[in-house]
Structure 1
Amino acid sequence: MTLEELRARIAEIETEMRGIHEAAGDAALDADQQARWDELETEHGDLSRQREEAEAAEQRAQAELQRRRGMVAQFAARGATEPGDGNVDVRGPRSPEFMQRVDPWDGSELRALSRREVRDRSLKVLEAKDGTRHLRSDQVDKVDRLLRARTDNCDGGVIGRRLLATENDAYRSAFMKASLHAQPAFTEEEARAIEEFRAMAGGTDAAGGYGIPVLIDPTITLTAQGSLNPFRRISRQVTITTDEWKGVSSAGVTWSYDAEGSAVSDDTPTLAQPSVPIVTARGFIPYSIEVGMDYPGFADEMSTLLMEGYDELQAKSFAIGSGSNEPRGILTALDANTNVEVAVTTDGAFGGVDINKVWGALPDRWKQNATWVMNHDVGNEVATFGNGNNLSFMTVDLTGVVETIRQRPVEFASYFPDFTGTTGASNILVVGDFRNFLIADRAGMSLELVPHLFDVTNNRPTGQRGWFAWARHGANSINDLGFRLLQNTL
């Protein structure tokens, strides 16, 4: 119970006890009244002790808050951003005004906060412009939705606790030091913030490393806009806090016409539970010691470095990933299902008739939201279908690229195959509703500093350090029938 809830319940008990006394008047309490009075008296005593403890904790928290505000004001007056950090902050100076608008949490009580308190406090941090100025509006909106989520696959409370644990001055300063120095000298507050985060994470997600602050964490803030990965723009994306995404799918309820007075036919739908397992992605970013000594704009640079490499790896795996220790790519999934494969009309050739053929094979229910995905080389082939006065297949002239086919958008994926024009089995393109291709990101990326890198030939130090980052995600088709795969031969 929160302090306010304790006070409210104590007031309710006292009101009920007065009511019992007034009902008895001058007479003694009967057996039922006496039993109820004893229950209320016991509960009143227990809650009163809890209230005293909560009030004492609140007083300590207020005293700590005032101490922190005083420290921030002192360092701001001296032009520093955080004690002991060399005037470098993860997201720039933290003004005293910001600290007053966003009351820092008491780290010792983070795990004890209720889910509602976690949500309210984390949303308050998110709403502060000082903390989100490096994020686009769509990224802020995404984090907001995640903090409010409560499903079997995603608990916003987990993300909220992570945000509160990492989006505070002590943790940001500690993370900055740990990511730039082999032997960081943490202040007492920084060490406490690191310990609180690891305790909150259960000692697993960040064991041996440091959790990236939520508001520069690609697994949480990465969105489709501006991404080089076309699958992020068109597929269904979910952020989860579990080790596997599990859904429910059905072909739907079958209706029927039945005679008057007769029993309705059994139209029970068949339910299935598609799942997407989560795998681990790893990245390594080397940098010189000199760069580590002079590193302005840390948040923007760190976020860009982590996001670009993470996105490039996924662009490949979402296309052709095997599904073994990596996501299962859309081509891999569809190539294993003969029900969705469509062969070209002429082996080794590719023309407008094949576009018509694969489009005609796609069920109508998936056409309205369908997207074409292909390699740029295949797109170039499509762009020339109108040559030779075959105007029925006219697409674009040489000044442009194919943007739509059958009024549905075209996306280009670098890891889709080129069109070679040779005979034999070969994938060409995919068309379908990519809401049936699910990308699941497990919230939370961690990073660890490798203090020295060594030359592979002489084993001597190179004057470089490295960031070793890891994150977890998965992808797979959760309904192959929502796609069609055009192939050279089956």
Structure 2
Amino acid sequence: MTDVIAGDALEASFEALEQEHVEVEGLRAEVAQLKARLEASERPALSGAKSETSPFVERYLRKGLEHGVELKAMSGSSDAAGGYAVPEEIDSAIERTLTSISPIRAIASVVKVGTSGYRKLVTAGGTPSGWVAETAARPETDTPVFNEIAPPFGELYANPAASQAMLDDAAFDVEAWLASEIATEFARSEGAAFVSGSGVNRPKGFLAAATAESADGVRPFGTLQLLKTGVAGGFPASNPQDKLIDLVQSLRSPYRQGAVFVMNSATAARIRKFKTSDGAFLWQPGLVAGQPDTLLGYPVVEAEDMPDVAADSLSIAFGNFKAGYLIAERAETQILRDPFTNKPFVHFYATRRVGGQVMNSEAIKLLKFAA
């Protein structure tokens, strides 16, 4: 029995050696073929033989393969469409004029939603309560009033195009630059809508909401309270700061924690000159970098989308925008690179879907420059 097992093992070892021999012979054959090809490539080409073509011809022109092939644009179009980048050397960074972006998004309440059919419930009046004796019956109390908020949505879009020559030859990253430009312009457009948007295919701004002079608890839900300066297109000649104090005190104390003034820089320039009777300025600049200036102890946010002071203008807002204004957005800005629709131009189609509306009309007050 032991002899049979030893014979089987010996036979298996012979078969393994034969297999290794076959593999070695195969490798030798491959090496010989490679040597023959190398010698043939070193010999001069015979008359009439086809010489080796360039990778551009073989890979790109014949097969349409771009990998490993250096492509260069051969002509430019007009200067504004990329012609500057073709014959001249330009800086790798692009400077741009700064665009004023509305800061309303930074002070409002922002939620991410999955659909444009977003709804939010806001209660008015709270839940009433009462006092009873230890053994007295507990009668039913009133339930709070629910109000539904459905912020109108709109879709921002941009579809700029860049020539293929510009993309190929420019020293800077054109695609990243265009994406940055689109994002900046979207921020500017949506910021203007948050202030004065009509609500038709765009957010409804807080200045587009209904207004009334009646106090909280009397006005209909969704109607903002406004206070008048008493002078059309300006402040009163004497004690103009009193109107600002009235505006602050019209906002109930629960909302004043976190409240801010919102106005544009032209209106702020007027108010910075206001002084008290003892000569002190109402406006206090921020003493630490990054901290906003304050007016009557509350931060001032400069939004250039707010209107200038004029007759019947709503140029100053004061309130807690986290509680007062709702911004709903479906997703971040989406950018699609489209090189096929309009050859030889490459389009960058960008979209952004966002909505907005006043959420709590008691949390925002407006100052109207009217008699």
Given the two structures, how large is their TM-score scaled by the length of structure 2?
Answer: 0.61
Match status 1:326 vs 2:202: yes
Say whether the 8 Å CA contact 1:256–1:265 is kept in structure 2. no
Q: Deviations over 1:92-140 (max 9, x none)?
A: xxxxxxxxxxxxxxxxxxxxxxxxxxxxxxxxxxxxxxxxxxxxxxxxx
Pick aligned residue for 2:120 from 244, 247, 265: 247
Between the aligned partners of 2:199 and 2:68, the Cα distance in structure 1 is 45
Say whether the 8 Å CA contact 1:245–1:277 is kept in structure 2. no
The aligned runs of 1:393-408 (5 Å cut-off) are: 394-396=282-284, 403-408=293-298
Q: Larger Cα Rg: Structure 1 or Structure 2?
A: 2
> What CA RMSD, in Å, does the superposition of the two structures yield over aligned residues?
3.4
The residue that corresponds to 1:367 in the other structure is: 256
Between the aligned partners of 1:450 and 1:326, the Cα distance in structure 2 is 29
**Alpha-carbon offset, residue 407 of structure 1:** 2.3
In structure 2, relative to structure 1, the CA distance for the partners of 1:441 and 1:294 (3 Å cut) is: farther
Q: Secondary structure at the match of 2:167?
A: helix
**Alpha-carbon offset, residue 378 of structure 1:** 0.7
In structure 2, relative to structure 1, the CA distance for the partners of 1:278 and 1:86 (3 Å cut) is: farther
In structure 2, relative to structure 1, the CA distance for the partners of 1:86 and 1:330 (3 Å cut) is: farther
Between the aligned partners of 1:469 and 1:338, the Cα distance in structure 2 is 35
Structure 2 residue runs without a partner (length 5+): 1-64, 71-98, 213-221
The residue that corresponds to 1:104 in the other structure is: none
**Alpha-carbon offset, residue 292 of structure 1:** 1.8
Between the aligned partners of 2:318 and 2:152, the Cα distance in structure 1 is 24
Greater relative contact order (CA < 8 Å, ≥ 6 in sequence): 2
Q: Secondary structure at the match of 2:232?
A: coil
Between the aligned partners of 1:342 and 1:234, the Cα distance in structure 2 is 22
In structure 2, relative to structure 1, the CA distance for the partners of 1:265 and 1:376 (3 Å cut) is: same
Q: Secondary structure at the match of 2:247?
A: helix
In structure 2, relative to structure 1, the CA distance for the partners of 1:258 and 1:304 (3 Å cut) is: same
Q: Deviations over 1:205-256 (max 9, x none)?
A: xxxxxxxxxxxxxxxxxxxxx9933012111111211122212211322222
Between the aligned partners of 2:68 and 2:178, the Cα distance in structure 1 is 18
Pick aligned residue for 2:358 from 477, 482, 486: 477
**Alpha-carbon offset, residue 451 of structure 1:** 5.6
**Alpha-carbon offset, residue 300 of structure 1:** 4.2
Pick aligned residue for 1:232 from 105, 108, 130: 105
Say whether the 8 Å CA contact 1:450–1:468 is kept in structure 2. no
Between the aligned partners of 1:85 and 1:489, the Cα distance in structure 2 is 68
Between the aligned partners of 1:379 and 1:227, the Cα distance in structure 2 is 16
Between the aligned partners of 1:254 and 1:237, the Cα distance in structure 2 is 30
The residue that corresponds to 2:369 in the other structure is: 488
**Alpha-carbon offset, residue 354 of structure 1:** 1.3
In structure 2, relative to structure 1, the CA distance for the partners of 1:86 and 1:279 (3 Å cut) is: farther
The residue that corresponds to 1:258 in the other structure is: 132
In structure 2, relative to structure 1, the CA distance for the partners of 1:391 and 1:402 (3 Å cut) is: farther
Structure 1 residue runs without a partner (length 5+): 1-82, 89-225, 454-460
Say whether the 8 Å CA contact 2:227–2:247 is kept in structure 1. yes
Whose helix proportion is higher, 1 or 2? 1
Match status 1:466 vs 2:347: yes
Between the aligned partners of 2:337 and 2:179, the Cα distance in structure 1 is 15
The residue that corresponds to 2:232 in the other structure is: 347
Between the aligned partners of 1:298 and 1:87, the Cα distance in structure 2 is 21
Say whether the 8 Å CA contact 1:245–1:275 is kept in structure 2. yes
Identity of aligned residues (%): 23
Q: Secondary structure at the match of 2:118?
A: strand
In structure 2, relative to structure 1, the CA distance for the partners of 1:447 and 1:86 (3 Å cut) is: farther
In structure 2, relative to structure 1, the CA distance for the partners of 1:410 and 1:334 (3 Å cut) is: farther
Match status 1:425 vs 2:306: no
Between the aligned partners of 1:345 and 1:356, the Cα distance in structure 2 is 14
- Say how many residue pairs are matched: 258
Between the aligned partners of 1:230 and 1:268, the Cα distance in structure 2 is 37
Pick aligned residue for 1:309 from 185, 203, 210: 185
In structure 2, relative to structure 1, the CA distance for the partners of 1:448 and 1:338 (3 Å cut) is: same
Q: Secondary structure at the match of 1:281?
A: strand
Whose strand proportion is higher, 1 or 2? 2
**Alpha-carbon offset, residue 311 of structure 1:** 0.5
Which amino acid is 1:428 matched to?
Answer: S
In structure 2, relative to structure 1, the CA distance for the partners of 1:265 and 1:406 (3 Å cut) is: farther
